[in-house]
Amino acid sequence: MAKRIEANGVTSYYGSFKAIDGVTMTIEPKSVTALIGPSGCGKSTFLRSINRMHEVLPGARIEGQLLIDGQNIYDRDIDVTAVRRLVGMVFQRPNPFPTMSIYENVIAGLRLNGLKKKSVLNDAAEKALRSANLWEEVKDRLGRPGAGLSGGQQQRLCIARAIAVEPQVVLMDEPCSALDPISTLAIEDLITELKNQYTIVIVTHNMQQAARVSDRTGFFSIDKTGDPGRLIEYDDTAKIFTSPSVKRTEDYITGRFG
């Protein structure tokens, strides 16, 4: 089942620097939520706090609660690898593992987590590649290096890799910013398909993209450089882009600021 995510006053720090301050929002299951805002406003930081990827960086920590189906993922007894199996992630730049083939990349999550059965792995690889709309392009060269694909294909490979472990939530951190328009379109189509199964949160700088793919949109911003980012407005995408209730959102969307 796709999961509901509730952020409850999430505040995050890099060392002594406060990156986001008191973000509270509810993300509905089986929906696409877009996070938009100017650079450095903390939308990526917030995204990374949903699967505890934030704390990978030295000195980073979080305050507040982040509930997935009512469970606070920052509780002491939570296993961080389990969180990340539940909440998958796709990064800004495609990052296929360079020592692995296309096939090995797709099943990396399953295999590194101990699944050995060949038939299960093969099925999982095909299923994931099909859902990522990559199967037809790579089915004859699964043994070739993953890094040899084009940028757009690599990104879809990374999406396949992320959904091969069957997460319930998929986080995407500007997944199209390094891609050309055709690959972007392919990935946007993919996001719309994946919505039927997964809860998707996507950070994007491209407002047309947010408008195209998302159901709800959250606008983050900072008052001035060095201040923590805040969630300014969070509403249905249609409302955010047609009649936002906060002036700053409107300024940002119409290009007057940021």
Partner 1 sequence: MTTPPLIVRNANQLHVRRLPAWAPPVLTVLAAVAGYVLVKAADIGGLALSVVIAVLLFLVGVYTAATLIEGRRRAKNRVATTLIWSAFVLALLPLVSVAWTLVSKGWAKFNPYFWQHSMNAIGPRDDAGGAYHAIVGTLEQAGIATIITVPLGVAGAIYIVEYGRGFLANAIRFFVDVMTGIPSIVAGLFILAFWVYFVTKYFNARGEPEKSGFAAALALTILMLPTVVRSSEEMLRLVPTALREGSYALGVAKWKTIMRIVLPTAAPGIVTGVMLAVARACGETAPVLLVAGGNNAINTNPFEGQQSSLSYFVFEQAQVSTKFAPPRAWAAALTLVVLVLILTIAAKLLARRNKLAR
**Angle at which helices 118-131 and 151-164 pack, to 10 degrees?**
130
Residue 67 DSSP SS3: strand
Give the binding range for partner 1 (CB under 8 A) out of 17-25, 48-56, 187-195, 239-247.
48-56
Q: Which residues contact 18 (CB under 8 A, 6 or more apart)?
A: 11, 12, 228
Which residues 102-121 are close enough to bind partner 1 by CB under 8 A?
Answer: 108-109, 112-113
Give the binding range for partner 1 (CB under 8 A) out of 87-95, 187-195, 202-210, 249-257.
87-95
Q: Which of 22, 29, 40, 145 binds partner 1 (CB under 8 A)?
A: 145
Backbone angles phi, psi at 169, to 5 degrees: -125, 140
Residue 200 DSSP SS3: strand
Give the binding range for partner 1 (CB under 8 A) out of 21-29, 30-38, 83-91, 187-195.
83-91
Q: Which residues contact 235 (CB under 8 A, 6 or more apart)?
A: 216, 217, 244, 245
Q: Which of 18, 30, 93, 205 binds partner 1 (CB under 8 A)?
A: 93
Q: Which of 70, 143, 226, 255 binds partner 1 (CB under 8 A)?
A: 143
CA separation (Å) from 113 to 120, 195, 214? 14, 26, 32
Residues 163-202 vs partner 1: string with x where CB under 8 A? --x-------------------------------------
Measuring CA to CA, which residue among 56, 33, 30, 32 is closest to residue 45?
A: 56
Question: Would you count residue 43 as binding partner 1 (CB under 8 A)?
Answer: no
Report strand pairing: 71-72 vs 60-68. antiparallel
Give the binding range for partner 1 (CB under 8 A) out of 23-31, 70-78, 101-109, 243-251.
101-109
Task: Name the residues that contact partner 1, by CB under 8 A.
Answer: 51, 53, 56, 58, 81-86, 88-89, 91, 93, 95-101, 108-109, 112-113, 143, 145, 147, 158, 161-162, 165
